[in-house]
Copies of this chain bind each other. A is one copy, B any other.
Amino acid sequence: MRGLILASLLAAAGAAPTDVPPRVNAARLRQRIEALSVFGRPAGGSFADGVSRTAFSDADVAARAYVMDEMRALGLEPRIDPAGNILGRRAGSEASLKPILFGSHIDSVKGGGNFDGDYGSMAALEVIATLEEMGLRPRHPLEVVIWAAEESSYGSGINGSRAAAGQLDPGELERVQDGIVKADALRRIGGDPARIGEARRGEGSFLCYLELHIEQGGKLDRAGIPIGVVEGIVTIDDHEVSVGGFANHAGTTPMPDRRDALVAAAQVVLAVREIATAEAGPQVGTVGRLNVSPNAPNVVPGSVQMTVEFRDLSGEKVARMGEALRVRAAEIAERTGTEVVARFTSRHEGARADAALQSAIEATASRLGLRHMRLPSGAYHDAQMMARLGPMGMIFVPSLGGISHSPRELTRWEDCASGADVLLGTILALDRRSAQGAE
């Protein structure tokens, strides 16, 4: 519905403008990323040593203060919402219009890199700085957002975009995570647990949400293409597989008599790979955790617990892979004389990027002379939550070697600049085009 409205606005714009959009200051963008990198940098380290700037840590608190100072310098007047998100608004030329929302996050995983989140956040500031410098004032207000605690969001985190989408569980803030009550963690970064409900944004309260991010995978890097147009964020289904065999003496139990849980589990591991590669497509399947019991060199394994997850843009395909897992589990149980139970545990709903926004991003990249390709995001992003409230679009730039969540995470400075150019150009195009439709 929302997508349709935006599509009609864009369609109304007629032929795409052929003028080349303005560009950000590439050197200044790099300086912003380097300046942010000192918060959470290992003692005595350099930029190449990455950051450990986990949400709510001292490094996170210091980095947030630094970013708010930068926002003030750009006239954004930052405020912290009750969920800890930092929001800075630049007025538009038409006061009644909905804002264009864009940004990312600055918290990192432990032992993370300087680009995941940081890049999109600093590029958002650089977009504002470029507009200021050029004296450009779009019709729509621009709202820069630095989401709180993105990296702790997977599963039951308390991250800011989940709160903004009204997806926090009741009582969630009373729970303890990493040894601290979540509400107390939230207070550390200026959030207000008592008013957390006020962080919720209304559906349709923004024209669209845009996020610029590193790919965190290797597709763009391998293809040598600087701009990725995200088709959507994958749906993830989690399963738990329990294998029950019989623990027995490794010396006295003949091979034919064994009910070896690990032999069965090994077949499950290979079946998961076969299921994920059985048809063409970007879907993935992973056994990431596997625990053996009793796990002693001289005992035939009695039981194995393992996790299986499947991801794809298509929730239907993800469900189909789960069904295939259950079929294979039954076959393996039969063949190995063990009990193999595959239990679906949870679904993390994905989100489709808005089709019109994908086209707008592509058109902007083309006008900038930048090659681009469509691809899904296999990772979670705050954009997943914003897609619940309005049209969502994401721009990816290459991660060298596909490495992420690592100090070795790296994106070429020229690609960083190109991505920010696309973000700026897309914002201007959307602002201009929507002028020809109603809101």
Question: What residues of chain A have their CB less than 8 Å away from a CB belonging to chain B?
Answer: 154, 215-219, 234, 236, 238, 248-255, 257, 260, 262-263, 265-267, 269-270, 273, 276-277, 282, 284-292, 295-301, 307, 309, 311, 377-380, 402-405
Task: Report which of B234, B253, B263, B301 forms a contact with A378, defined as CB distance below 8 A.
Answer: B253
| CB of A344, distance to nearest CB on chain B (Å) | 14
Chain B residue with the shortest CB-CB distance to A282: B254
Given A270-B266, A378-B249, also A286-B257 (CB < 8 A) = no
Is the Cβ of A252 less than 8 Å from the Cβ of B288?
Answer: no
Nearest CB on B from A296, distance (A):
5
Residues of B within 8 A of A282 (CB): 254
Q: A288-B296, A300-B286 are in contact. Are A311 and B270 (CB under 8 A)?
A: no
Measured between beta carbons, the chain B residues less than 8 angstroms from A377 are 251-252
With CB as the reference atom, state the residue of chain B lying closest to A254: B282
Contact between chains at A379 and B295 (CB < 8 Å): no
Instruction: Determine which residue in A251, A267, A403 has the highest number of CB atoms from chain B within 10 A of its CB, and name it.
Output: A251
CB of A255 within 8 A of CB of B270, answer no
Q: A250-B309, A378-B249 are in contact. Are A255 and B236 (CB under 8 A)?
A: no
Assess whether B289 is in contact with A292, with CB atoms less than 8 Å apart.
Answer: yes
Q: Which of B276, B288, B297 contacts A298 (CB 8 A)?
A: B288
Whole-angstrom CA separation of A251 from B236 in the bound complex: 9
Nearest-neighbour CB distance to chain B for A264, whole angstroms, equals 10
Nearest CB in chain B: distance from A151 CB, A: 12
Selected from B217, B253, B266, B287, the residue in CB contact (under 8 A) with A252 is B217
Q: Closest Cβ of chain B: how far from A342's Cβ, in Å?
A: 14
* Chain B residues closer than 8 Å to A254, beta-carbon distance: 217-219, 282, 284
User: When the two chains form their complex, are residues B276 and A270 in contact, meaning their CB atoms are under 8 A apart?
Assistant: no
Copies in the complex: 2
Q: A234-B251, A249-B405, A288-B301 are in contact. List 6 more A-B contacts (CB 8 A).
A: A217-B251, A251-B311, A252-B402, A263-B269, A265-B269, A288-B292
Task: Give the CA-CA distance A303 to B11 in the complex, in Å.
Answer: 51
Residue of B nearest to A272 (CB): B263
Q: Name the residue on B nearest A277 (C-beta).
A: B255
Bound: A273/B264 CA distance, A: 11
Of B249, B301, B403, which contacts A379 at CB under 8 A? B249
- Chain B residues within an 8 Å CB radius of A273: 255, 260, 263
> In the complex where A267-B266, A297-B238, A297-B307 touch, is A215 in contact with B290 (Cβ < 8 A)?
no
Jot down 23 A-B pairs with beta carbons below 8 A, ordered by A.
Answer: A215-B252, A216-B252, A217-B253, A250-B286, A251-B311, A251-B377, A252-B379, A252-B404, A253-B284, A254-B282, A254-B284, A255-B273, A255-B284, A262-B290, A263-B269, A263-B270, A266-B270, A286-B297, A286-B300, A288-B295, A288-B299, A289-B292, A289-B296
In the bound complex, residues from chain B placing their C-beta under 8 Å from that of A270 are 263, 266-267, 270
Bound complex: CA of A291 vs CA of B260, how far in Å? 16
Output the residue of A253, A270, A298, A377 with the most chain B CB within 10 A. A298
Which of B269, B380, B405 lies in contact with A266, CB distance below 8 A? B269
**Once bound together, how far apart are the Cα atoms of A307 and B262, in whole Å?**
12
Q: Is the CB of B379 within 8 A of A251?
A: yes
In the complex the two chains form, what is the Cα distance from A266 to B299 in whole Å?
18
Are B295 and A291 in contact, with the CB atoms below 8 A? yes
Bound CA span A291–B301, Å:
13
Measured CB to CB, the nearest residue on chain B to A307 is B297
Minimum CB–CB distance for A307 against chain B, Å: 4
Q: Which residues in B have their C-beta under 8 angstroms from that of A255? A: 273, 276-277, 284-285
Distance of A101 Cα from B284 Cα, bound (Å): 64
A377 to B252, CA, bound (A): 7
Task: Indicate if the CB atoms of B300 and A289 lie closer than 8 Å.
Answer: no
Contact B298 A257 (CB under 8 A): no
Most buried by B among A248, A286, A309, A405: A286
